[in-house]
Amino acid sequence: MMKKLALLAGPLICVVLLLQPYQIINPEVHKVVAVAFWIILWWISECVSISVTALIPLVFFPLFGIMDLNAVTAKYGSPIVFLFFGGFVMALALEKVGLHKRIALNIVRLTGTTPNKVILGFMLATAFLSMWISNTATTVVMLPIALSVIDLLHNDADGFTKNDTYFSIALMLGIAYSANVGGVATIIGTPPNTVMVGFLEEQHKLNISFFKWMTMGVPFSLLMLALVYFVVVKWMFPNRLGDNKETYTLICSQLDALGKITNREKRVLVIFSLAILLWVFRSSINVWIPSLQLTDTSISLLAAFSLFTLPLWHGSKGFVLEWKDTQKLPWGILILFGGGLALAGAMADSGIVRLIGEAVESQHTWSLFWVGAFLIAVLLFMTELISNVALVSIFCPVIAGIALGLDANLLTLLIPITMASSCAFMLPMATPPNAIVFASGYLEVKQMIRAGIVLNIFSIIILILVMQFAVANIF
């Protein structure tokens, strides 16, 4: 019922705002605010797909004279959209050839056979994969392997004890939370990162390189992983199980079932590794060979192009990827990026961002620290209920205006707030990984809330420290 009401209320509010005689500041701001209300209501309620909602600027901005069609469509073809497209294609190749599962099993095998080390292995493998492929796909890969390990506990001599239950809970939560925080480590790891980077590039001509983001994102992800391990495994759900050789045997048997690494896997691994190296050393390469002018987007597209066009030899026919494989590509997310950039562009062009900045600037008692801390906390708890990519798309222009009003570096507020949107630990519906592990049947909502509220509070503290010390030193 609520979704049906939101479906009707969105366009109705937009029409009422457009027709009422009193203008909000000026006609341009008035029209943008009217359409923005419609978009935000549909994004929050998810009465239709958030990707469908992202088409509203494409249809109605030209109709209402907010932005001409060429300008709107340019947002949907932004370089940052193609950066993520290339990342999606690489993730698709990893999944198609099964390389992601081989990487995950090898990481788990190397960590050891004691229960806590097994959980740590799953967490490390999940976080690493989530840096490069979607956290949903990562969780879907890791869950069956984890369930196989839990089945061993069901079938052992002492049955399924309280310690076994705590191990299962910790393993499920460890996988979900690692998938969430692992994506923060890279620009392409999670959509909110890309939305924020695209907004800065489009609206403020600020470029954040792949490598520079990693210099902050990777330490943050590792710190959060350590925190998740301590809270979930050592504090909330400790188990006292002994060494279990059967787990190691199970992991090895699953690796054996994959067989020797294939030519397709080798090809994907080489292209994937070269793309990462080019991202890391892009600035140096551009200094050595100025004519190249490599960008993160061009590297991403080059890797994607190679996966479609470089032929396989040694008995393997064809290419790693064919165009029909892109049926599995999340095209809706790419449209969502475009819609977010179009909304942000309209808010900036109409003067809304400037007005927000002036309003904040007039409040001389406001402190950057307390404003930042408040926004981090609000965004982090809001993302438990609202899509994090929609939330970041909505708030980026607003927070940019606040930063300008406080005469602060945009990155000081935007980066920690974007990171906060990926730190949703409390509720099953907060993120796809949370929902997937909850569906396993080994978790109750109260258990996720119990661990999640503690992690949310710790995340806020860490993100405030990131805002105060890390952003200025790195960027």
CB atoms within 10 A of CB 342: 28
- Of the candidates 35, 63, 39, 38, the residue with the CA atom closest to the CA atom of residue 50: 39
Place of tokens 């904040």: 360
Sequence ranges of the domains in the chain: 80-328
Q: Does the reported pTM lie above 0.85?
A: yes
Confidence (pLDDT) at 440: 85
Place of tokens 């294609």: 89
- Of the candidates 118, 240, 135, 219, the residue with the CA atom closest to the CA atom of residue 177: 135
Confidence (pLDDT) at 74: 92
DSSP 8-class letter at 285: H
Confidence (pLDDT) at 303: 93
Confidence (pLDDT) at 22: 73
Confidence (pLDDT) at 228: 96
Distance of CA 59 to the CA centre of its chain: 27
Name the strand (E) or helix (H) holding 280.
helix 263-288
Q: Please, which residues bridge with residue 311 across strands?
A: 319
Confidence (pLDDT) at 219: 95
Confidence (pLDDT) at 352: 84
Full pLDDT tens readout for the chain, 475 residues: 888 898 999 999 999 988 887 766 778 888 998 999 999 899 888 889 888 999 999 999 999 999 999 999 999 998 888 998 998 899 899 889 888 889 998 888 888 778 899 899 999 999 999 999 888 889 988 998 998 888 877 766 555 678 888 999 999 999 999 999 999 999 999 999 999 999 999 888 898 999 999 999 999 999 999 999 999 999 999 887 777 778 888 888 888 888 899 888 999 999 999 999 999 888 889 889 888 888 999 999 999 999 999 887 655 567 889 999 999 888 988 898 889 889 988 988 888 888 888 787 777 678 889 999 999 999 999 888 888 888 898 889 999 999 989 888 999 999 999 999 999 899 888 888 998 999 888 888 899 999 999 999 999 999 999 999 999 888 8
Name every residue whose Cβ is closer than 8 Å to that of residue 227 and which is 6 or more positions away in sequence: 455, 458, 459, 462
- Of the candidates 37, 109, 25, 44, the residue with the CA atom closest to the CA atom of residue 343: 37
Confidence (pLDDT) at 155: 64
Confidence (pLDDT) at 329: 87
Cα dist from 341 to 94, 148, 240, whole Å: 29, 43, 50
Name the strand (E) or helix (H) holding 302.
helix 296-309
* DSSP-based helix, strand, coil % in the chain, nearest 5: 75, 0, 25
